[in-house]
Amino acid sequence: MRLSDFNALSFDCYGTLIDWETGLLEALKPLRDRSGVSDDDLLTAYGEAEHEVEVEHPGLIYSQLLEKVHATLCRRLGVAEDRDEAAKLGASVGDWPAFADSPDALRYLKQHFKLVILSNVDRASFAGSNRRLGVEFDHIFTAQDIGSYKPDPRNFEYLVARLDEAGIAKSELLHVAQSLYHDHVPANRMGIASAWIDRRHDKPGGGATVLPEPMPHFDFRFTSMAELADAHRREQG
């Protein structure tokens, strides 16, 4: 299997293209300071809380969902809830930084593939991230559009159906994502080829994403978007 076998790349955004852990830690700094918890423990607690709230409130837009996640974290960490902190977390998504390699890699890949976003976010929040990424995506599918959050299979069913309408078959699609749990597990179930962007290759644990058991299959592994783009360049000679 070669990257050039595909005509479209669908991306998870946060953790893959946008450095969401850096963004989260900055937005959660007041909570971290109040609770005294370490960055690693805070990210782990965040990942568990976010997943639970997404399951409980699949129709809630992401910025509002983050406010509920903040309240859940406060309760678990034994500190008082703070509505102002929660609102700032919900509004922070567009400020989260892009990984340094993402814009150049996307500009290169845009010359060879249709580019698609499949993200657990709302449209307004993604608009800020899109400006940081500096490329026009051919399709943007968000949890707000779909009414559920990955790893719900409905998100990938929606992706496949909308791309089929656009003339892109499932066999032509490669899903590119960091989160094994949110993306590679459901992509496996849907029979979608996938590339793992292993952004945490030099760090222990799953960080802000739940680790799945067993390990899902992936067809390619890279530690950055730059590595993916370089692999495609080599295929092109």
> Are residues 91 and 28 both part of a single domain?
yes
In this structure, the strands spanning 139-142 and 220-222 are unpaired
- Catalytic site includes residue 12: yes
| Burial class of residue 183 in the structure, from the number of CB atoms within 10 Å of its CB (0-12 exposed, 13-18 middle, 19+ buried) | buried
> Are residues 116 and 223 both part of a single domain?
yes
> Are residues 69 and 112 both part of a single domain?
no
Nearest Cα to Cα of residue 63 among 129, 114, 135 = 129
Given the residues 5, 12, 152, 219, the one annotated as active site: 12
Q: Which of 34, 66, 95 is the last residue of a domain?
A: 95
pTM: predicted TM-score of the whole model, two decimal places: 0.94
> Are residues 134 and 224 both part of a single domain?
yes
> Are residues 24 and 51 both part of a single domain?
yes
The residue whose two tokens read 């739940």 is: 210
Whether 98 contacts 132, CB under 8 Å: yes
Q: What is the pLDDT of residue 21?
A: 93
Nearest Cα to Cα of residue 114 among 183, 72, 195, 174 = 174
Domains contained in the chain, number: 2
Q: Which of 56, 73, 95 is the last residue of a domain?
A: 95
> Are residues 87 and 204 both part of a single domain?
no
The per-residue DSSP string of 100-128 comes to TTHHHHHHHHHTTSEEEEEESS-HHHHHH
> Are residues 10 and 113 both part of a single domain?
yes
What is the C-alpha to C-alpha distance for residues 139 and 62, in angstroms, rounded to an integer?
19
> Are residues 15 and 122 both part of a single domain?
yes
| Burial class of residue 129 in the structure, from the number of CB atoms within 10 Å of its CB (0-12 exposed, 13-18 middle, 19+ buried) | buried
> Are residues 84 and 172 both part of a single domain?
no
Q: Which of 95, 126, 158 is the last residue of a domain?
A: 95
Q: Which domain holds residue 13?
A: 3-19+97-236
> Are residues 194 and 88 both part of a single domain?
no
In this structure, the strands spanning 139-142 and 114-119 are parallel
The residues, ordered by sequence, that sit 6+ positions from 38 with a Cβ below 8 Å of its Cβ are: none
Whether 153 contacts 174, CB under 8 Å: no
Q: What is the pLDDT of residue 45?
A: 93
The enclosing domain of 187 has a CATH number of 3.40.50.1000
Chunked in runs of 10, what are the mean pLDDT values of the chain (237 residues)? 97 96 95 94 92 91 94 95 95 95 98 97 94 97 95 97 98 97 97 96 82 92 98 95
Q: What is the pLDDT of residue 206?
A: 81
The enclosing domain of 63 has a CATH number of 1.10.150.750
